[in-house]
C-alpha cells in the first residue's frame, strides 16, 4: 500500500489540475443558441422513470456524485467496461449503481432535438437536479458546458469517500476537490434519499470493537431494528435499510435522525464529532429551507468540476 501512495497521489493531483482549469467554462446559457429547449427532455425522462421506479431519484443523485468525485463530472461513470478495461461502473463502490437507462433515454431524446450538441455529463447533472426537485427538494439553475471524458477506470473508484470514513478522512476527500466543510455536511444530506445495504453499516451493529458489539452512539432501539434486518451472518443479498424514515422525499429528516442516534453510516455519525460540522447538522435539522439552500449551492459547486474533452453520441461508449 505504501509503495502505491506516490503514484496515486501524483495521478490525483494531475487529474485535479485538469478539473480546476475547467470550472470557468460553464455557463447557464451555454446551449441557448444550439439547443435551447433540451432541459425539458431530460426532465421528462426522469419523470417517466420515477413513475415506474421510486428509487430512481436516489440512484441518479448517487450516480452524479460518484461521477464527479473521480475525474470530475465527465460522465465517465456511464461508460461500459471493455475487454481491455474495467470501467468505473464496475468498481466495487459502484456495483449497486442503477438507473443508467434514464440517462440513455434522455440522451436519445436530446439527440433527436440537437444531434451531437449536448454532453452526457450535462444530462447527468440536470437529471440529478431534477431527481431532487421532483422528490420535493430544492430546484436550482445548472451551469452547463461540461464535456464527456474518455477514461474510466474501476481502480479509481477507491477515491470515493467510504461509509466508514471518519471526519478527518471526509474533510480530506472533500477539500481535495475544492469542497468545504459546509459542502460536506450539506451534500451528506443527499442521504435523505436512498437505501443502504447491510455490508455498508455492518461494522456499527456487530463486533463494533473489542469491548462492545454495537456502536454506542446508535439509539438502542434503532440498533436493534438494524440487527433484525441485518443479522451477523446475513445472507440476504438485498437486505438493508432506508437512509431515513421518509425514503422517497427529499427533506431534512436525515439530520433530525442523525441527532437522534439514528444514522446509518459511520461517516454520517462522524459529522457530529466536529464542532463546526455538528453546528451545521443542527442548523439543517432546524430548518429545511436552510438545508435546501445550502444543498443547492453545494451541488452547483461540486458539479462545476469538469474534466472531459468531447460530446459522446452514445453515453456508454467511446468511439
- Residue 310 known to bind ligand: no
Total residue count of the chain as it appears in this document: 319
What torsion, rounded to 10 degrees, do the Cα atoms 90, 96, 101, 102 define?
-130
Tell me whether residue 6 is annotated as binding.
no
* Grid cell digits, residue 102: 434514464
Is 156 marked as binding a ligand?
Answer: no
244 known member of a binding site: yes
Give the DSSP letter string of 153-187. Answer: -GGGGGGSPPTT--HHHHHHHHHTTT--HHHHHHH
Residue 66 falls in the annotated catalytic set: yes
76 is in an annotated binding site: yes
Per the CB < 8 A criterion, the answer to whether 243 and 254 are in contact is yes
Catalytic residue, chosen from 66, 197, 206, 233, is 66
Q: Residue 210 CA to chain centroid, in angstroms?
A: 33
192 known ligand binder: yes
Q: Are 111 and 313 in contact (CB under 8 A)?
A: yes
Q: Is 233 annotated as a binding residue?
A: no
Q: Was 197 annotated as part of a binding site?
A: no
* Selection from 162, 149, 87, 91 nearest residue 121 by Cα: 149
Q: Give the span between the Cα atoms of 168 and 151, in whole angstroms.
A: 29
Task: Give yes or no for a contact between 69 and 63, defined as CB atoms under 8 angstroms apart.
Answer: no
191 is in an annotated binding site: yes
Q: Is 213 annotated as a binding residue?
A: no
Q: Which residues line the annotated binding site?
A: 67, 72, 74, 76, 88, 161, 191-192, 244, 247, 251
Q: Which residues line the annotated binding site for substrate?
A: 161
Q: Which residues participate in catalysis according to the annotation? A: 66
Q: Which residues line the annotated binding site for Ca(2+)?
A: 67, 72, 74, 76, 88, 192, 244, 247, 251
Amino acid at each position: 500500500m505504501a509503495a502505491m501512495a506516490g503514484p496515486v497521489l501524483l495521478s490525483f493531483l494531475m487529474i485535479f489540475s485538469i478539473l480546476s482549469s475547467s470550472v470557468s467554462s460553464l455557463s447557464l446559457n451555454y446551449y441557448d443558441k444550439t439547443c435551447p429547449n433540451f432541459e425539458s427532455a431530460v426532465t421528462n425522462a426522469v419523470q417517466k422513470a420515477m413513475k415506474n421506479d421510486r428509487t430512481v431519484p436516489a440512484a441518479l443523485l448517487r450516480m452524479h456524485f460518484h461521477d464527479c468525485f473521480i475525474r470530475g463530472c465527465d460522465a465517465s461513470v456511464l461508460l461500459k467496461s471493455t475487454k481491455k478495461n474495467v470501467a468505473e461502473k464496475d468498481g466495487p463502490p459502484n456495483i449497486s449503481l442503477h438507473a443508467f437507462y434514464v440517462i440513455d433515454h434522455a440522451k436519445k431524446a436530446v439527440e433527436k432535438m440537437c444531434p451531437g450538441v449536448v454532453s452526457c455529463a450535462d444530462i447527468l447533472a440536470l437529471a440529478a437536479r431534477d431527481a431532487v426537485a421532483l422528490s420535493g427538494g430544492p430546484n436550482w439553475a445548472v451551469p452547463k458546458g461540461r464535456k464527456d471524458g474518455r477514461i474510466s477506470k474501476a481502480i479509481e473508484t477507491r477515491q470515493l469517500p467510504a461509509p466508514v470514513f471518519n471526519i478527518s478522512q471526509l474533510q480530506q476527500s472533500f477539500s481535495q476537490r475544492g469542497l468545504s466543510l459546509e459542502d460536506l455536511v450539506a451534500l451528506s444530506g443527499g442521504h435523505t434519499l436512498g437505501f443502504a445495504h447491510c455490508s455498508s453499516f455492518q461494522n456499527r451493529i456487530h463486533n463494533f470493537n473489542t469491548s462492545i458489539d454495537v456502536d454506542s452512539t446508535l439509539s438502542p432501539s434503532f440498533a436493534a431494528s438494524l440487527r433484525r434486518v441485518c443479522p451477523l451472518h446475513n445472507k440476504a443479498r438485498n437486505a438493508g435499510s432506508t437512509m431515513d424514515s421518509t425514503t422517497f422525499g427529499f427533506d431534512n429528516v436525515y439530520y433530525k435522525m442523525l441527532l437522534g442516534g439514528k444514522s446509518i453510516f459511520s461517516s454520517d455519525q462522524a459529522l457530529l464529532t466536529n464542532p463546526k460540522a455538528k453546528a451545521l447538522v443542527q442548523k439543517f435539522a432546524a430548518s429545511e429551507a436552510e438545508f435546501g439552500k445550502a444543498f443547492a449551492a453545494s451541488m452547483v459547486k461540486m458539479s462545476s468540476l469538469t474534466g472531459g474533452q468531447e460530446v459522446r453520441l452514445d453515453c456508454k461508449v467511446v468511439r
